[in-house]
Amino acid sequence: MDGTGVNSAGVRSVARIVARDDGRGGTALPLLESDGPLALRRTRASGAEARVMLVGAMSGPLGGDHFTVRARVEEGARLSVGSAAATIALPGQAKGEARYDVRLDVADQAELHWLPEQLISAQDSDLYVTTRVELAATARLVLREEQVLGRAGEEPGRLTSRLTVRVAGQVLLDQELACGPGAPGGWDGPAVLGGHRSVGQLLIVRPEFAAEPVPARALGEGASVVPLAGPAALVTAVAPDALRLRRLLDEALASLAET
């Protein structure tokens, strides 16, 4: 269902972005459309890169809500998308889980930086997040995900997050993490979060990584990088809090930029 509506199932909201090479060394935004709790704001461009900020116009997602963000970066365009503040999953009056779907499409010779702020899973919330990315063979991507389980002094809600990325139609990455009450056992154990409450990942896709893969290595305490079977490297990190998690991922991105 497109558009915004409020019913027994919660709020529906869709945001859409299209970035296009403007033919003058920059990137135009012919489509920047949002409604309801999701608001898109164009910010100052940086060179050839257009920049967009996703602003939450109200709290949520709440139980029963369904938010969708779609972004398409056309051939030769460059786009960076961030968010103005953390997203907080909260319990709502409507029963059932909330959903947050992200759909990203990046064409040949195009580049997308998808860098939202943290997603916080508040106590008694239930959120299912899906991110699906379609990349052309020569597309470039930097994608960051950060999840914080519970606000200060509270237990987390249930949070399930799935990330699927395909390059030229071939699956590069397909993984799911479920945490909190009702999640499969072991999510808080040493093999997954090890007692930490902040978890994140950084996916970097560059065509040159196919010929020269990034070597697997530890990146300080709580973070590591591994090459994927394709033109990509994946950084995963756990930390006691959101600030430390961001520092780990920022340091990882800086180190990979030098490779």
Can you give the pTM of this predicted structure?
Answer: 0.91
- H or E stretch at 245: helix 242-257
pLDDT the model gives residue 94: 65
- Please tell me the number of Cα atoms within 13 Å of 153 on its side-chain side: 0
The pLDDT > 70 percentage for the chain reads 92
The DSSP element (H or E) to which 247 belongs, if any, is helix 242-257
Pairing relation of β-strands 66-73 and 98-106? parallel
Looking at the predicted structure, is the pLDDT value of residue 57 above 60?
Answer: no
d(CA 93, CA 45): 40
Q: Residue 72 forms beta bridges with which residues?
A: 18, 105
Backbone angles phi, psi at 249, to 5 degrees: -70, -35
Nearest to 68 by CA among 38, 113, 31: 38
Query: Domain extents for the chain?
Result: 12-258
Three-class SS of 154-205: CCCCEEEEEEEEEECCEEEEEEEEEECCCCCCCCCCCCCCCCCCEEEEEEEE
- For the chain, how many residues are written? 259
- Looking at residue 65, its amino acid is D
Q: What pLDDT band is residue 250 in, cutting at 50, 70 and 90? A: very high
Per-residue pLDDT band for 59 (boundaries 50, 70, 90) equals low
C-alpha to C-alpha distance for 64 and 4, rounded to whole angstroms: 13
Integer distance in angstroms from the first to the last C-alpha of the chain? 43
pLDDT beyond 60 at 84: yes
The residue among 9, 6, 167, 173 whose CA lies nearest residue 94 is 9
The mean of the pLDDT values for the chain is 89
The string of pLDDT tens digits covering residues 181-236 is 887 776 777 767 777 889 999 999 999 999 999 999 998 888 999 999 999 999 99
pLDDT of res. 72: 98
Across the range 109-119, mean pLDDT stands at 96
Helix (H) or strand (E) holding 21, with range, is strand 10-21
- The answer to whether 102 and 66 are in contact (CB under 8 A) is no
Least confident of 128-132, 139-143, 196-200: 196-200
- Is the CA virtual torsion 249, 188, 120, 154 positive or negative? negative
